Every structure is written in structure tokens, then in C-alpha cells.
Amino acid sequence: MKITVVGGGNVGATCAHILVSKNLTNELVLVDIVEGMPMGKALDMYESTPIEGNDTKVVGANGYDETAGSDIVVITAGLARKPGMTREQLQETNAQIVKEVTQQVAPRSPNAILIVVSNPLDVMTYVAWKVSGFPRERVMGMAGILDTARYRTFLSMALGVSVKDIQALVLGGHGDSMVPLVSYTTVSGVPITHFLDKPTLDAIVKRTRDGGIEIVNFLKTGSAYYAPASAAVEMVEAIVKDKKRILPCAVYLQGEYGMSDTFSGVPIKLGKKGVEQIIQVPLTPEEKAAFEKSAGEVKANIAKLAI
Ligand code: TXD
């Protein structure tokens, strides 16, 4: 197993570190354009392996030859938000970056599975899919797991119960119109509406939608990275261990949920082949309308791409 992480910034380096400490790969390559930085971070991580008892060879690079033959490539390269910015404002710059990265990665690792993290997430995943020419099963974006984790954390805080016992799904695009599905939220199988009233749930849904900017406003110089890195690793682990996890990920829709030629977050079965199934769950009329609005916004942004 060989994994490449492109972008050695906050999310990329944290993701690489978790992958190494979880022993998920024999070889990990960290790529960034900043001279020397990925080599320094990679060597530092490599030197942690005798202490952690891992067997991962960690390589840093400013180019792509070292990435050849990767099984999985996680793309985190690109600008992050600062206070006052929307994810969509990153689109023009990050589309060029994700395009360049994909052009370098795809021919060197033609059988790889691509996991895109860069924002605006759904549009950047479309860019990687389009530029790579890979089948849709092998190109996906990470956002739903993070958004769902935020939602589960806030519910756990409100209820005073373990985050482990809260099951939930957040679908749609990774933007302010994402759709936390209250109808599929349970505490160990018991509907969430049994525990919380509508105003409390509405406030939690809103906080989930604003979860990214809440952190940006604290950090001021960048955006969240611990939970995003953990979320990307959960996807990698599902693939590496062929776990057949059911996770919300951004995938190319061809008629599913009434949408086509666009990427949006929906539940999928994730295993060694990548997207092994897209799971269509019935939505309430309200949720359906919210999903269509969110996915429609992504589609409109894809139409603005000049790649
Ligand atoms: O849920 C999600 N999908 C997200 C997405 C959650 C958190 C962060 N999200 C997005 O990921 C964020 O909006 C950014 O677009 C990316 C990366 O966020 P990060 O916090 O890691 O940003 P950094 O720390 O600025 O790191 C970005 C790195 C930095 O080191 C740059 O030098 C590098 O990307 N970079 C490049 N690497 C390789 N090749 C090119 N062309 C390149 N351009 C920049």
C-alpha cells in the first residue's frame, strides 16, 4: 500500500501523521510546493516511527515522481478560508491548483483512488474527476464525514451522552446549505426527536452548517484541520481495509437523488474498489427540497469553472 498526500499544510500534514501513526500504509509520500517543507515534515514523521512502533516509510517531495504507483492520493492542496470568506471564494484559485495537482498525479498513479479535501469541496472533486479521466468509483470528496461529526458532537454536548451512540447523516454540498438529516438522526436507534425539541434541534442544525466558520473565526489565519484530517483518514482506512463502511462522501451523481453531472454528499458503501454503491435513502419533502437546493448550488458553481 502506497499513499500520497498532496498539500503538506494543516490538513495534509495532520492527515499524513494520523495515517503513519495508525500504520495504514507501507509508504507515505507528502507533496507540497513550498521548498523543503514536505521533506522536513516527512523526515520528522519518519523519525517518530521507531517510537510509535510503525513501519511506514515517509517521503517528502516538491515534485511528483516519488508518488508514482500510489494506491490512494489525498488532495489537500489549496488555499484555506480566512474570517469573512466563503468556501466559494476559493473556487477560482483552488480549481487551478487541483487541476495542476491532478494532471501530475493521475498519469503516475493511473489506478489510484483520489480523495479530494480542497475547497469548495464538491466543485474541486468534480475538477479532479474531470481532469483525471478516472471512473467515478475512484474519485470522491471528503466533507460529509466531517459535517456529520460536527453534528454528532453538538448533539452529544446537548444530550450529555457519548458521541459514539449518536448516528446521523449530513448530505448535500459542503456549504452553508448542507442538509443534516434530522429524520435519520438517532441515539442508539431512538429517534432524536424523542430527546430534543424542535428549537434546540434547529439551533444544532444551524451550528453544524456554520461549523467551519466557527473555527475559522477562532483561528483567524486558517480553517479547521484536526477533525477534517480524521475524516479523510476514516475514508482511507475504509478503502485500505476494505471495510465496506457506509459513509457520507461527495460522489459523482448520474441520476441518483434526481441529480446528474454533479458531485454531492450522499451515503456510499466505501471499500477497496472505492465507491462500491450509492445508497439512496427516502427523504422527507423538506429534506428533498433542501438537498436539491444544495446540490443545485454546486452544479451552478461547476458551470462557472474555467478548466
Ligand atoms: O471538509 C473539507 N473538505 C475541508 C476542506 C475541511 C478543512 C479544510 N478544507 C480545505 O482543505 C481548505 O479550505 C483548503 O482548501 C484545503 C487545505 O486546508 P489546510 O488547512 O491544510 O490549508 P493550508 O494549511 O494552507 O495548506 C494548504 C497547502 C499549503 O502547504 C500550500 O503550500 C499547498 O497546500 N499548496 C500546494 N501543494 C501542492 N501543489 C500546489 N499547486 C499547491 N498550492 C498550494
To which residue does cell 459514539 refer? 164
Q: Which residue lies with its CA nearest to atom 11 of ligand 1?
A: 118
- Tens digits of residue pLDDT in 149-196: 999 999 999 999 999 999 999 999 998 899 999 999 999 999 999 999
Question: Ligand 1 within 6 A of 12 CB?
Answer: yes
* SS3 per residue for 208-275: HHCHHHHHHHHHCCCCCCHHHHHHHHHHHHHHHCCCCEEEEEEEEEECHHHCEEEEEEEEEEEECCEE
Neighbours of 57 (CB within 10 A): 15
Q: Are residues 152 and 137 in the same domain?
A: no
Catalytic positions: 174
Closest ligand 1 atom, residue 174 Cα = 1
Q: What is the CATH number of the domain that holds 68?
A: 3.40.50.720
Alpha carbon distances (Å) from 288 to 52, 154, 171, 235: 47, 23, 10, 26
Question: What's the total number of domains in the chain?
Answer: 2
Q: Is 223 in the pocket of ligand 1 (CB under 6 A)?
A: yes
Q: So what's the pLDDT on residue 49?
A: 97
Choose one of 104, 117, 123, 264 to mutate for the ligand 1 pocket test, by most ligand atoms within 8 angstroms of C-beta.
117
Torsional class of 153: left (φ above 0), alpha (ψ -120 to 50), beta (otherwise): alpha
- Residue 307 domain flag: no
Instruction: Write down the pLDDT at residue 307.
Output: 80
End position of a domain, from candidates 98, 116, 141: 141
Rounded Cα gap, residues 129 and 263, in angstroms: 10
- With 0-12 / 13-18 / 19 or more C-beta atoms within 10 angstroms meaning exposed / middle / buried, residue 76 is buried
Task: Give the pLDDT of residue 243.
Answer: 98
CA of 216 to the centre of ligand 1 (A): 14
Residue 109 neighbours by CB distance under 10 Å: 22
**222-225: Cβ within 8 A, 24+ apart:** 222/9, 222/10, 222/80, 222/81, 222/82, 223/10, 223/80, 223/81, 224/146, 225/9, 225/10, 225/11, 225/14
Q: Is the CB of 249 under 6 A from ligand 1?
A: no
Residues 251 and 293 in one domain: yes
In a domain, 174, yes or no: yes
Mean pLDDT per segment of 10 residues, for the chain of length 307 residues? 98 98 97 98 98 96 98 97 91 97 98 98 98 98 97 98 97 92 96 98 97 96 97 98 98 96 96 98 94 94 92
Q: Do both 85 and 175 map to the same domain?
A: no
Residue 143: closest CA among 168, 118, 114: 118
Pocket lining: 294 vs ligand 1, CB cutoff 6 Å? no
In a 3-state reduction of DSSP, which class is residue 42? helix
Let me know whether 170 and 111 are in one domain.
Answer: no
Name the residue range of residue 256's domain: 144-302
